[in-house]
Structure 1
Amino acid sequence: MIEHNPVSATEPRRVRVAVIGAGDRGQVYASWIKSNPTRAQLVAVADPLEYRRELVAGAEQDVQRFDTWQDLVAQPKVADLAIVATQDSHHSAPAIALAEAGYAVLLEKPIAPTEQECNDIIDAIDRTGVMFGICHVLRYTPYTKMVKNAVDSGVLGQIMDIQHLEPVGWWHQAHSYVRGKWRQEETASPMLLAKSCHDIDWIRYIAGVPIEKIVSFGDLTHFTQANKPAAAGEALRCTDCALVNECPYSAPKIYLGAFDRDGYKWPTSVITEIPTREAIQDALESGPYGRCVYECDNDVVDHQSVMMQLQGGMQATFTMTAFSEQTHRQTRIFGSHGYLECDGENMRVLDFRTGEFRDSHIGDFGGSNAADGHGGGDAGLMDAFIQAIESESPELITSGARESLASHLAVFAAEKSRRDGTIHQVPVEPTRHASTTTITKE
């Protein structure tokens, strides 16, 4: 532990929050807490890197700083809520320990990289009875609420088919899944779990019924050495490449362009802790984010499709692709009495009974990526969880333990299908003894 400063007993009662993992996601949630001081109070942060602890704690002297989550758990309980925003492979141990220590737990997605760990975490939540939620921020966006309300209103009749697209974006794929921390299944998790468990969960949530069967196809097709342009020669880094101004995946174009346009925020904040153009240039010349995308050690897929059969005969298809604009999800829903399409900001509904179109606009809730708050999802999640604790109303958390486990089991089944080419059954009612197959690299 770095330092200990007890919270003043004279301050008004607010939800006390500890942040475990002070990377980008932890910083986002801490920022919300600081922006809502009458409702929440940041009281502790745990992270092995001092500069990240200080980014989260800021000038607040009353925020306890810990090197590790183990140091925090070893102390008497310091908060009402613990947000676990560590890397995917480091979710299980802190989530279980914090639940056993009596903390409400808000866990960054995915729950964990393996079915065994997912079941272990959910077992701990069942055993301890603490309030729990997964950061499926897509559930908490105004966009999702608008679509869900339309579906539940009955205007579409019986839902027959859902088509859902996640346009990851060419530069986002290069940043996170070719050069970045989620580029390898062994050190992080498969792409469908790391990036698109949100979307499988979203489809299940909008449909309101379980996924029963699933099949998937996906590959790493483009970001391989075989596709390196001949003109790039033997260059291993963008800064040494003749195509630095032409390649769509040019690191200087992506990061220096983002810095010049938006300042020091995600994604430039990921590649260096120093908020200057010179530091970004240095990082591109020596760090992992300056590597040629055709010379990286990535193995996660760059495009994938999933087809699902849901309870009651409904079908759904999901496509994740790197080869797109980085923008909001796009959805089409086909019902017996109506049709809906939505692009994350606008929704159009055709009522077959009247032949009339109804258009709705959700307003400006920010862009779709982490820098822009995921279209209002980050704020919506924090608002719901804090309100749930304030009012002791766990039903306000729509991404609870069993709901989230069900969608994760569907993702694991889809990954098995992608590997063996067969249709897989998804447990309709996940139990404490659900399948515990671990995804491993072939």
Structure 2
Amino acid sequence: MSSPVDVIVVGAGNRGDNYSGYAVIFPDRMRVVGIADPRDFARKKLQARHKVADENTFNDWRCIAEREKFADAVLICTPDRLHKDPAVALAKKGYHVLLEKPMAVTEEDCKEIVEACIQSGVILTVCHVLRYDPLIHRIKELIDSGVIGDVIHIQHLEPVGFYHFAHSFVRGNWRNEAESSFALLAKSCHDVDLIHHWAGGRRCIKVSSFGSLSHFTKENKPANAANRCLDCPVEGDCAYSAKKIYLDQVKRGGVGWPVSVICSNSVPDIESVTEALKTGPYGRCVYECDNDVCSNQVGESYIFLISHDVTFMSVSEVEYIDLLQIVNMEFEGGLTAALTMVAFTEEICERKTSIYGSKGELSYNGHEIKVFDFLTRKSTKHTADTRVPGTFGTGGHGAADYHLIDSFIAAVKNKDPSRIRSGPKETLASHKLVFAAERARLENRVVFCGDQCDGESR
């Protein structure tokens, strides 16, 4: 029997714990031999789960970089702003890299990561986990089969979920851009990547984007509301009450996400969750947080075959040529795409997609795919096998988490980067689109991308 792929987990939080679970289910394929995390409880919890030797556990990833290479790969699941340094340093040491998305929080850092991995000859897998969702992968197969003809327009919705947004982007780790990253990058670089993927390698040359922080502000705080939910006399009338989101879940016996991430030093129970809400960030009133990221964003990407240098149009030029009605513009090449990310939804991350082609229309509701054929005027439903071994179906991305880590381990084991569905250059290209969209939003400009947004296609 061949030996398993040895990995080091850098960042023992939710994502690191989830991906490392593959070693528990398939110890013959993957083995966790090292852990780095500054938090004692998280590090020791993962150490006990995988029986990692004390000498291979660290409170700083730099200790790994200072040692001789002792594993095949690293799983980097640190906060967004702490991705670049370990990714570059450990790639240069010869470790294959699985890197949680987004790749990094600046375009320059993304480029540096890609260059380090290419120059070092190591596999880079950025966790564009939706690429590995069996149903979403089936969408790409259907497009490539030609069942809807030439793709004319892609419309994609990312419904974040009302309490998910409050947890992650108002109270939580991604609430403040200076401490993490902007919302489109943190939440929907997945989705921009999918649009780029479905476009089949064609260049995006023009991006506009609109968005704002529209609700979670001090001005919208209810009268008589307290600064913390446990002390609030009007908490019962608030949909974003921390008592409803966290304590009620624990009372029902639930200790999974999001409860699992608010108690950094203990296992969630009534006492520890109550204490976390009394003293920690997740117990704050959503209208009294230091959040500054968008709660809704709309972007329009215009994708076609010609290329231009990167230029920017002034606001007055945009108004003059009526680019504010972008969907009514005509472009050589024809393919357009629209992405909407919105916080205020019942469903949590159940993407909705419609792809309009010259021969038919494809629609996806998060559970099944339907293709309507213009010639026969008949609809055909398409499904995919979403079963996974063990508990991977409960990790937040269903079967996609399993297929992502499975593909990465197989790629490392077989020295076969073709198993990775988003190569380094293509991943960099889709990240560039996200940065272009955010610049368009901030500067109220239409951004022409040209060659900077080109990339390989698989």
Per the normalisation by structure 1, the TM-score is: 0.91
Structure 1 residues 317-326 or 200-209, which shifts more? 200-209
Taking the aligned partners of 2:100 and 2:49, their CA distance within structure 1 comes to 25
Matched, 1:58 2:48: yes
Match for 2:444 among 406, 416, 421? 421
Alignment counterpart, residue 345 of structure 2, candidates 294, 317, 324: 324
Equivalence for 1:253: 244
Give the structure 1 partner of residue 370 of structure 2.
348
Matching residue of 2:316: none
CA distance, structure 1, for counterparts of residue 397 and residue 450 of structure 2: 30
* Corresponding residue to 2:357 among 323, 327, 335: 335
Correspondent of 1:42 among 16, 32, 43: 32
Q: CA deviation at 1:395?
A: 0.9
Aligned-pair CA distance for 1:359:
1.1
User: Residue 417 of structure 2 corresponds to which residue in structure 1?
Assistant: 394
Q: C-alpha separation between the residues in 1 aligned to 2:248 and 2:405?
A: 31
Deviation (angstroms), 1:380: 1.0
Whole-angstrom distance in 2 between the partners of 1:354 and 1:96: 53
Counterparts of 1:425-440 in structure 2, within 5 Å, are 425-428=448-451
How far, CA to CA, are the matches of 1:431 and 1:348 in structure 2?
30
> Equivalent residue of 1:316, what SS?
strand
Displacement of 1:429 in angstroms is 5.0
Aligned to 1:182: 174
In the TM superposition, 1:269-308 aligns within 5 A as 269-272=260-263, 273-308=266-301
In structure 2, give the amino acid aligned to 1:387: A
Deviations 1:5-49 (A, max 9, x none): xxxxxx951111111111111111111222111111111111111
Q: Deviations over 1:372-410 (max 9, x none)?
A: 340211111101111111221101111221111101100
Q: Which amino acid is the alignment partner of residue 353 of structure 1? A: L
Aligned-residue sequence identity (percent) comes to 44
Alignment check: 8 A CA contact 1:402 1:430 kept:
no
Cα distance in structure 2, aligned partners of 1:370 and 1:200 = 24
Taking the aligned partners of 1:397 and 1:173, their CA distance within structure 2 comes to 30
Matched pairs, number: 418
Q: Is the 8 A contact 1:192 1:411 kept in 2?
A: yes
- Kindly indicate whether the alpha-carbon contact (under 8 Å) linking 1:191 and 1:301 is maintained by their aligned counterparts in 2: yes
Deviations 1:56-105 (A, max 9, x none): 22254444211211111111111111111111111111001101100001
Aligned to 2:189: 197
Q: What is the identity, as a one-letter code, of the residue corresponding to 2:21? A: S
Of the three residues 101, 106, 109, the one matched with 1:109 is 101
CA RMSD of aligned residues (A): 1.9
Q: Distance in 2 between matches of 1:60 and 1:363?
A: 29
Deviation at residue 364 of structure 1 after TM alignment: 5.1
Secondary structure of 1:45's match? strand
Classify the secondary structure of the residue corresponding to 1:304: strand
Change (3 A) 1:274 1:90: same
**C-alpha displacement at 1:126, in angstroms?**
2.1
Q: Secondary structure at the match of 1:317?
A: strand
Counterpart of 2:21 (choices 6, 15, 31) is 31
Find 2:228's aligned residue among 237, 240, 245.
Answer: 237
Q: Distance in 1 between matches of 2:85 and 2:151?
A: 40
Residue 146 (structure 2) aligns with:
154
1:268 and 2:268 correspond: no
Matches of 1:420 and 1:187 in 2, distance apart? 21
Runs of 5+ consecutive residues of structure 1 not aligned to the other structure: 1-10, 433-442
Residues 1:88 and 1:247: Cα distance change in structure 2 (over 3 Å): same
Contact 1:406 1:428 in 2 (8 A): no
TM-score computed with the length of structure 2 as normaliser: 0.88
2:212 corresponds to 1:219: yes
- The alpha-carbon distance between structure 1 residues 358 and 38, as it changes in their structure 2 partners (threshold 3 A), is same
Q: Which deviates the most, 345-354 or 420-429?
A: 420-429
Please list the CA deviations of residues 212-254 of structure 1 after superposition, one character each: whole Å capped at 9, or x if unmatched. Answer: 211000000100001111242xx10011112222201000100
> CA separation of 1:205/1:262 partners in 2, compared to 1, >3 Å: closer, same or farther?
farther
> Partners in 2 of 1:122 and 1:412 — Cα distance?
16
8 Å contact 1:122–1:405 — kept in the other structure? yes
